[in-house]
């Protein structure tokens, strides 16, 4: 006897096929079973889908239904919760379930043939068993003990609001430990923003749990792994051998049949939001998944996202998360750093470093301490100009300037990658005096080398070198870390103390535990105060707080660590709150502004981005779909009321309007209710599809919906 099976596959985006196709199978297979099925003239991976949750499959012709090609033997079906998570993700973020689910599975499930797969599964498990020294956990601080007691007593989700160095990681370790000890099957998922930046965390988890549960108990899942590594981790989590999965945002989709605890560390970090395909937020999905699977969810941060902060207001006021507060750093002498503002209005014009900051840097390095200087702009200068005729180093393919990189004397477009050698003279008027304008990290590095040329490091005086050694400067940014392993190498050099002054972009401000850094300087942070992106102040505040958290972790140095801000707006509320390390004050002020302006978290947003050969076509497409929503759709049955709540702004060019000769436009959609917005978007998708073929949209290349966009 044969059975009809609904199977979820990744059908091409614009194929007329739905993502759930019907196949024939000799055996009735449970939903969640991984199968190989024919699709067109190839064979592809599919997941037997629960017919009840399947999207409408449409009519099918029984005569044309094909047989499944095979079952992935030895792999138990994916759980119902996993299917629901993927179904929800696809529906909420407006993508096809096939695309989302198949992208969430390790690529090798698709690539390996049955024999290879069987070999992979048979591979002997190296059972390390318990072994090695069991690391004693430190006695909890009173703040940690209180937080843990609350986690035990309440169902959550929790927002663990703890200063950098307050021992949040220790709380995660403790909760995971207790869970695994109490339930021999239980699994925990621990997410971090960027695994490369937090090798210390991975080591801490391995050191704590490998001796107890074997080397296999802790596995990683992130995009820096090879496909075989990913498959191995995935299988071990899916089979239950892995008790802890440590990963980046992609790990939120890991198959964990006994998931009981989810930790999202640095929950405010923008890298939890995917920038392509389904633009999901792994933090938001973690909360959803926790509810779905009955797993506790801990979100942790010293500077929570304003969304999470708002959700953790008192329950009486409508809060849904329980806020746990750990304000103190562990260890009495590692005090929070002193924040100093330098008023750049009183400094020489165009000064890169103010006089007092230079003096402070010199003093620190001479004493053998480390300094971190950051500026959010790589390259030497953001633009090259000719003062005679006004020529600027524009990119011919983008509406942006090409950045001057002095190291290899190139002009590079940071948007499309177009690179040329710096011209000898102005291409327009021949003036040989073309000059860099503004500054980037390369220039800071060069400038610091000049400033510190006479400084000698204390303690480096030897009989052979009676003057002591020069100051060592290193730069870490996207340019200096392009090759695999470079970032790790450079970070290791900083940790080892082989660097005295570290210059870099925001890359260096996040997550690292640079214990010997006692001075952190933000050279020019003001830009974010005036950005058109309403989230810019939030990001700046958290970046500066994180940077401040880097400073002065090593109590043995005994020096008062400092954070210096060079600003033309010393009285700005953001800096005032920062000076007091007062995130709640900053958040309260920001939330008030957001509430008045009806912005998230007080409303829900979605962004539709369109790319076309001309700006007119991109905007025409968006505006036509908008008009349709406001007129035709409003006349659809039952839609009038919902549409009154959905506000569609007119299409506008994106901040960088043209990239690689493609014109880009966007349309913002706002709605007080997330649910209504989701319903609207789902219905509106077909309108967007239909609008595409209108004559004024000729030249449209692609469009995509971004639900809960982070950058506007």
Total of chain residues touching ligand ADP, rule CB under 6 A? 14
The C-alpha atoms of residue 282 and residue 686 are separated, in whole angstroms, by 27
389 is in an annotated binding site: yes
Cβ of residue 165: shortest distance to ligand ADP, in angstroms? Answer: 4
Which 3 state secondary structure label does DSSP give 329? coil
The DSSP output letter for 331 is S
Could you say which residues in the range 365-394 bind Zn ion, by CB under 5 A? Answer: 386, 388-389, 391
Residue 169 interacting with ligand ADP (CB under 6 A): yes
Q: Which is nearer to ligand ADP, 243 or 515 (CB)?
A: 515
Pick between residue 389 and residue 529 the one whose CB is nearest to Zn ion: 389
Phi, psi of 312 (to 5 degrees): -100, 20
671 is in an annotated binding site: no
Is 198 a binder of ligand ADP (CB under 6 A)?
no
Q: How far is CA 619 from the centre of its chain?
A: 29
CA distance 3 to 135: 54
Under the binding rule (CB under 5 A), the answer on residue 426 touching Zn ion is yes
| Range list of β-strands (E), 602-661 | 604-612, 647-648, 652-659
Residue number, 170 or 500, with CB nearest to ligand ADP: 170
Stretch (H or E) spanning 299: strand 296-301
For residue 72, give the nearest of 35, 122, 32 by alpha carbon.
35
Closer to ligand ADP at the Cβ: 336 or 707? 336
Q: How far is the CB of 384 from ligand ADP (least distance, A)?
A: 41
| Binding residues for ligand ADP restricted to 68-87, rule: CB under 6 A | none
Bond into 157 cis (ω within 30): yes
Does position 156 bind ligand ADP by CB under 6 A? no
- Residue closer to ligand ADP, measured from CB, 267 or 477: 267
Q: Does 141 interact with ligand ADP (rule: CB under 6 A)?
A: yes
Binding segment toward ligand ADP, per CB under 6 A, in 157-165, 269-277, 288-296, 627-635: 157-165
Does position 413 interact with Zn ion (CB under 5 A)? The reply is yes
46: left (phi over 0), alpha (psi -120 to 50) or beta: beta
Secondary structure (3-state) at 609: strand
Q: Could you say which of 96, 144, 481, 623 contacts ligand ADP (CB under 6 A)?
A: 144
164 touches which of ligand ADP, Zn ion, none (CB within 5 to 8 A by kind)? ligand ADP
* Contacted entry of Zn ion, ligand ADP, none for residue 202, CB cut-off 5 to 8 Å set by kind: none
Tell me if 266 contacts ligand ADP by CB under 6 A.
no
Of 336, 327, 333, the closest CA to residue 167 belongs to: 327
- 382-386 long-range contacts (CB < 8 A, ≥24 apart) are 382/437, 382/438, 382/439, 382/440, 383/436, 383/437, 383/438, 384/411, 384/422, 384/434, 384/435, 384/436, 384/437, 385/434, 385/435, 385/437, 386/426, 386/428, 386/429, 386/431, 386/433, 386/434, 386/435
Question: How many chain residues bind Zn ion (CB under 5 A)?
Answer: 15
- Three-class HEC string of 542-583: HHHHHHHHHCCCCHHHCCCCEEEEEECCCCCHHHHHHHCCCH
Q: Residue 393 or 623: which CB sits closer to Zn ion?
A: 393
Near Zn ion by CB under 5 A: residue from 218, 286, 398, 474: 398
**Shortest distance in whole angstroms from residue 245 CB to ligand ADP:** 19
* β-pair partners for 300: 160, 265
* Partner whose binding site includes residue 418, from ligand ADP, Zn ion, none (CB under 5 to 8 Å by kind): Zn ion
- Annotated binding-site members: 386, 389, 395, 398, 413, 416, 426, 429
- Annotated binding-site members for Zn(2+): 386, 389, 395, 398, 413, 416, 426, 429
Q: Which residues bind Zn ion (CB under 5 A)?
A: 386, 388-389, 391, 395, 397-398, 413, 415-416, 418, 426, 428-429, 431
């Amino acid at each position: 006897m044969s059975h009809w099976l609904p199977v979820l596959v990744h059908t091409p985006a614009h194929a007329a096929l739905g993502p759930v196709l019907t196949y024939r199978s000799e055996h009735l297979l449970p939903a969640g079973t991984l199968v190989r099925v024919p699709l067109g003239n190839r064979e592809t991976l599919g997941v037997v889908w629960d017919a009840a949750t399947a999207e409408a499959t449409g009519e099918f012709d029984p005569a044309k239904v094909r047989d499944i090609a095979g079952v992935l033997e030895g792999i138990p079906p994916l759980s119902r919760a996993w299917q629901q998570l993927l179904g929800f993700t696809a529906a909420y973020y407006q993508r096809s379930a096939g695309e989302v689910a198949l992208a969430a599975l390790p690529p090798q499930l698709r690539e390996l043939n049955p024999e290879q797969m069987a070999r992979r599964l048979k591979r002997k498990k190296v059972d390390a068993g318990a072994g090695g020294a069991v690391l004693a956990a430190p006695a909890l601080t009173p703040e940690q003990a209180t937080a843990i007691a609350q986690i035990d007593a309440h169902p959550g989700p929790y927002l663990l609001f703890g200063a950098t160095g307050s021992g949040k990681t220790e709380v995660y370790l403790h909760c995971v430990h207790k869970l695994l000890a109490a339930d021999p099957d239980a699994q925990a998922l621990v997410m971090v923003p960027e695994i490369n930046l937090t090798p210390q965390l991975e080591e801490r988890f391995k050191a704590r749990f490998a001796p107890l549960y074997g080397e296999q108990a802790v596995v990683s899942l992130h995009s820096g792994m090879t496909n075989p590594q990913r498959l191995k981790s995935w299988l071990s989590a899916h089979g239950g051998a892995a008790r802890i999965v440590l990963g980046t945002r992609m790990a939120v989709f890991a198959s964990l049949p006994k998931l009981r605890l989810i930790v999202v560390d640095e929950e405010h970090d923008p890298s939890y939001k995917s920038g392509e395909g389904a633009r999901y937020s792994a933090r938001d999905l973690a909360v959803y998944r926790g509810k779905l699977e009955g797993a506790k969810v801990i979100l942790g941060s010293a500077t929570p996202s304003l969304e999470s902060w708002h959700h953790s207001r008192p329950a009486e006021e409508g809060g849904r998360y329980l806020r746990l507060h750990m304000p103190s750093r562990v260890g009495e002498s590692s005090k929070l750093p002193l924040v100093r503002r330098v008023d750049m209005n009183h400094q020489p014009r165009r000064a890169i470093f103010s006089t007092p900051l230079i003096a402070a840097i010199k003093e620190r390095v001479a004493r053998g301490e480390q300094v971190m200087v950051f500026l959010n702009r790589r390259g030497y200068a953001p633009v090259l100009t000719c003062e005679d005729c006004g020529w600027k180093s524009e990119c011919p393919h983008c509406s942006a300037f090409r950045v001057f990189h002095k190291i290899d004397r190139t002009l590079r477009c940071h948007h499309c990658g177009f690179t040329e050698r710096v011209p000898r003279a102005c291409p327009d008027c021949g003036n040989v005096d073309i000059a860099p304008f503004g500054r980037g990290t390369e220039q800071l590095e060069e400038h610091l080398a000049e400033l510190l040329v006479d400084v000698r490091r204390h303690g480096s005086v030897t009989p052979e070198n009676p003057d002591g050694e020069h100051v060592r400067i290193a730069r870490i940014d996207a340019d200096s870390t392009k090759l695999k392993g470079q970032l790790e190498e450079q970070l290791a050099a900083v940790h080892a103390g082989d660097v005295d002054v570290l210059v870099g972009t925001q890359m260096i401000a996040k997550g690292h535990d640079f214990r010997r850094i006692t001075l952190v300087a933000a050279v020019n942070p003001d830009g974010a105060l005036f950005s058109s992106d309403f989230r810019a102040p939030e990001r700046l505040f958290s970046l500066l707080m994180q940077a401040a958290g880097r400073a002065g972790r090593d109590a043995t140095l005994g020096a008062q660590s400092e954070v210096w801000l060079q600003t033309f707006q010393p009285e700005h509320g953001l800096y005032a709150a920062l000076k007091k390390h007062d995130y709640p004050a900053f958040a309260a002020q920001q939330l008030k502004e957001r509430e008045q302006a009806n912005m998230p978290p007080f409303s829900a947003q979605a962004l539709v981005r369109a790319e076309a050969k001309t700006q007119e076509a991109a905007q025409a497409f968006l505006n036509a779909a908008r008009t349709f929503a406001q007129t035709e759709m409003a006349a659809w049955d039952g839609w009038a009321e919902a549409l009154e709540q959905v506000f569609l702004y007119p299409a506008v060019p994106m901040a960088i309007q043209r990239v690689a000769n493609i014109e880009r436009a966007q349309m913002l959609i706002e709605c007080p209710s997330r649910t209504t917005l989701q319903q609207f978007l789902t219905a509106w998708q077909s309108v967007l599809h239909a609008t595409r073929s209108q004559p004024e949209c000729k030249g449209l290349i692609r469009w995509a919906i971004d639900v809960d966009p982070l950058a506007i």
